[in-house]
Amino acid sequence: MEELKYVGKSFTRLDERDKVTGAARYVDDLDFGPNLLYAEIVESPYPHALIKSIDTSEAEKVPGVVKVVTGKDFPYRFGLYMHDRYVFAQDRVRFIGEQVAAVLARNPKAAKKAAKLVKVEYEELPYVLDQMEALKDNAPIIHPDLANYWHVPWYFPKPGTNIAHWRKVRKGDVEKAFAEADFVFEDTYRVPRYAHCCIEPHISVALYDYSGRITVWSSSQSPHTQRNLFAQALAPLGISHKDIRVVVPYVGGGFGGKAGVSMEILAVALATVVKGHPVKVRWTRAQEFYNTYMRQALVSKIKVGVKKDGTIVALKNELYWDAGPYAEYGANVVNAAGLSATGPYRIPNVWIDSICVYTNKPAAGPYRGFGYSETHFAIESHMTRVAKMIGMDPVEFRRKNAIRRGDPVAYGAPMNPNGLIEAIDKVAKEVEWGKKEESKDPNKVIGKGFAIFWKAPAMPPNTSSAAFLKFSEDGSINIVVSGMEIGQGYMTVMAQIAAEILSVPIEKIRVELPDTDRNPYEWQTVASHVTWSCGNAVKRAALDAREQIFEVVHQAYHLEKETLYLEDEKVKCKTDPEFQLPLKDFVINGIQTHDGTYRGGPILGRGIFMPEFTTTVDDPETSQGGHPNVHYTVGAGAVVLEIDKETGKMRVLKAVEAVDAGKAINPDLVKGQINGGLLQGLATVLYEDMRFDDKGKVLNPNFTDYKIPTAMDVPKEIVPIIVEVPQPDGPFGARGISEHTMIPAAPMVANAVEDALGIRIKSMPVTAEKVALAILQGKKEVE
């Protein structure tokens, strides 16, 4: 195995200089000229109501106002996996904050002033804010038309109810297994709503020019998917995909919240009524909280059966998800998490019901972890309890039951190569598992908590990535792809892959930000899959370019291609050490032969990657038979938690996390994901706390009262561990890790609290207040 020169090294990020100097441009930094119009949205004050009338006459009179629109101007239903969402509310509103009308004006003040003058008459309808309530027989039905909605074949909505999707997994015979088990334990866990809190709020600018082309600049993880959804949503206008252009500059954080289409549709729709004028819709921080995707809330009723020796024989998991009123994306969270809601364990008998329920809270959708953070809170809390109840060490229990390569997962497909045991062992060692620690402070106790995790990219079976790679006269390279640099370091990783194949140093490689006119297709930058998928496409493009390079050298110099190799930006020959041809000499201009004619021309690499083994064709009653997930990334995490018994305050003394990256193409970037993901996960369990009033209004849509981590909240010590069990079909063995780093945080904290205090808290967040009051009230369990 040759030593890799670029892959596996922590190069400086390609975009770091842009960001450090302030050169990096985000959508709101772009100037659109004096024709720019500003939009202000009129929002619903009710969780569920019929719209009786909208009077825009007063609003239209405000100086500076160009147009006022309402739902009837855009009677379009759309969505990623199901068409259940509206550009503007039509006959009714379904959550507080839903867009009902919009004002377009020459300046933001006029827009805001006019928006307040739009008069909407509502007739309130009964509403439901909790998924369990929404499942009851007498619950108000939020989508009476559910039967008529288009959806992907792997969604199973139940018309006549509030069930947007029901994923059933049935393997083996759980009832028999429970009856025969030595020990069975069941309990319920609750996870509330959470918000992504990207520092850059959502924003979209759209222009419908006089020739009928639409150009959109948005802060998005998914330019091509956005283009596709815009085309679908505006199908009545008959605009071809080629006439919709989505351009994405740098994005200030995504975390899943900028996947698919949320508020961006508004700019596009509004642009169509003011031809020739760019329209900007910039979300406030408050709107960011209540009118973009939130993370679903979950009630998980989980039952596990084990043998005396700790072998898990059966698992039943009933998952009830609160998805808000529009589940076009969120139902896939329910689907993906449902298929894998066993956790990374080998379990022969499995019963999972993962039910996506409509409610009148804001819409929920993709968030880092895609449902796995939520399900793992329940699963990993439960597994630790089961282990302790049968007198087994929780880490030993996990080692014993950890899923291994080749084991069938819940839906029958085989588990990929993985370093789960190695991750467990390394984390346990680093955190000195088994060694009880005492605090010097008599008020404090120290507990340790452990959790393992897995996740597979949740994607349709035919998602793909494509890459072009072109040289310039000086031998530098442009890689043209539509993956999105949302901070994870994707650009740098693509450059490192190309550098390795073509021997061109990183400093001579650019990776271009997406423009759907010019950059080839990428499904979305989600699912932690672009390192793998787009990395493969870039690798193929680089190999394609290399093949062309060798071909032209062969034609010009008659050297056998098998003897050629690339090193230091030159073509060299194993059988002729004298032969050294610099790439820059011919990658544009070709090679001149002995008779003065030329061979070659511009070297242009092309690569496409689409998995050919995935399928969602399965039995809808059991989920057996399909192969919906490409592979799983696994890992383990542990925390050493110091708790003040008087105040309930918890401080992380040490957080350790191991993730199996297959091959860490840039170890620095993997560590960055561990640091960032862990802290984000710890925040969800320790202090992020979304509050609603009794009508479903978000009470804390700001950082004053929804607390995300500051530099003061960093754990005393974080130890990132990279495990590398190669992914056979990954570029250089790599697989994705970015979402995963968040997943173990919540359960490992809950487990540490139990270890320290003997108190089991079964709902999130596990705040200082909850802990302190539990101690005061002498509770052993908190619902």
Q: Which of residues 743-772 bind other proteins (CB under 8 A)?
A: 767-769, 772
Binders in 399-438 for other proteins, by CB under 8 A: none
Question: Burial, 621: exposed, middle or buried (Cβ in 10 Å; 0-12, 13-18, 19+)?
Answer: exposed
User: How many angstroms separate the CA atoms of 614 and 607, rounded?
Assistant: 20
If one asks whether residue 487 binds other proteins (CB under 8 A), the answer comes out as: yes
- Candidate list 22, 33, 34, 153; residue touching other proteins; CB under 8 A: 22
If one asks whether residue 526 binds other proteins (CB under 8 A), the answer comes out as: no
Binders in 111-170 for other proteins, by CB under 8 A: 111-113, 116
Binders in 167-206 for other proteins, by CB under 8 A: 196-201
Q: Which of the ranges 23-31, 447-455, 495-503, 602-610 carries the binding residues for other proteins, by CB under 8 A?
A: 23-31
What type of residue is 691?
Answer: R
If one asks whether residue 689 binds other proteins (CB under 8 A), the answer comes out as: yes
Q: Which of the ranges 128-136, 306-314, 385-393, 694-702 carries the binding residues for other proteins, by CB under 8 A?
A: 694-702
Q: What is the largest CA-CA distance in the chain?
A: 94
Q: Which of the ranges 67-75, 250-258, 499-507, 594-602 carries the binding residues for other proteins, by CB under 8 A?
A: 250-258
If one asks whether residue 649 binds other proteins (CB under 8 A), the answer comes out as: yes
Q: With respect to other proteins, which residue has the nearer C-beta, 1 or 712?
A: 712
The enclosing H or E element of 421 equals helix 420-430
Tell me how far, at minimum, the Cβ of 20 lies from other proteins, in Å.
5
Q: With respect to other proteins, which residue has the nearer C-beta, 488 or 548?
A: 488
449: three-class secondary structure by DSSP? strand
Name the nearest CA neighbour of 169 among 739, 623, 705, 503.
623
If one asks whether residue 109 binds other proteins (CB under 8 A), the answer comes out as: yes
If one asks whether residue 672 binds other proteins (CB under 8 A), the answer comes out as: yes
Binders in 263-282 for other proteins, by CB under 8 A: 282
Secondary structure percentages of the chain, helix, strand, coil, to 5: 30, 25, 45
- Are 720 and 675 a contacting pair, CB within 8 Å? yes
Residue 691: Cβ within 10 Å count: 13
Tell me how far, at minimum, the Cβ of 237 lies from other proteins, in Å.
31
Total binding residues toward other proteins, as defined by CB under 8 A: 84
Binders in 454-483 for other proteins, by CB under 8 A: none
What type of residue is 771?
Answer: V
User: How many angstroms separate the CA atoms of 322 and 469, rounded?
Assistant: 44
Q: Which of the ranges 47-55, 296-304, 577-585, 642-650 carries the binding residues for other proteins, by CB under 8 A?
A: 642-650
Q: With respect to other proteins, which residue has the nearer C-beta, 130 or 200?
A: 200
- Candidate list 58, 123, 705, 783; residue touching other proteins; CB under 8 A: 705
DSSP for 93-139, written as a single string: E-STT-EEEEEEESSHHHHHHHHHH-EEEEEE-----SHHHHTSTTS
If one asks whether residue 322 binds other proteins (CB under 8 A), the answer comes out as: no
- Candidate list 253, 457, 461, 731; residue touching other proteins; CB under 8 A: 253
What type of residue is 564?
Answer: L
If one asks whether residue 619 binds other proteins (CB under 8 A), the answer comes out as: no
- Are 651 and 731 a contacting pair, CB within 8 Å? no
CA distances from 493 to 525, 553, 606 (A): 14, 29, 18
- Candidate list 702, 728, 781, 783; residue touching other proteins; CB under 8 A: 702
Three-state SS sequence of 144-211 = CCHHHCCECCCCCCECCCCEEEEEEEEECCHHHHHHHCCEEEEEEEEECCECCCCCCCCEEEEEECCC
If one asks whether residue 617 binds other proteins (CB under 8 A), the answer comes out as: no
Integer-rounded Cα radius of gyration of the chain: 27
If one asks whether residue 26 binds other proteins (CB under 8 A), the answer comes out as: yes
Cα distance from N-terminal residue to C-terminal residue, the chain: 54
- Candidate list 311, 439, 615, 700; residue touching other proteins; CB under 8 A: 700
User: How many angstroms separate the CA atoms of 98 and 44, rounded?
Assistant: 5
61 to 100: interface string for other proteins, x by CB under 8 A: ----------------------------------------
723: three-class secondary structure by DSSP? strand
- Are 655 and 691 a contacting pair, CB within 8 Å? no
604: three-class secondary structure by DSSP? strand
Q: With respect to other proteins, which residue has the nearer C-beta, 180 or 512?
A: 512
Q: With respect to other proteins, which residue has the nearer C-beta, 179 or 199?
A: 199
- Candidate list 7, 15, 455, 642; residue touching other proteins; CB under 8 A: 15
Q: With respect to other proteins, which residue has the nearer C-beta, 50 or 699?
A: 699
User: Running DSSP on this structure, what letter comes out for residue 615?
Assistant: B
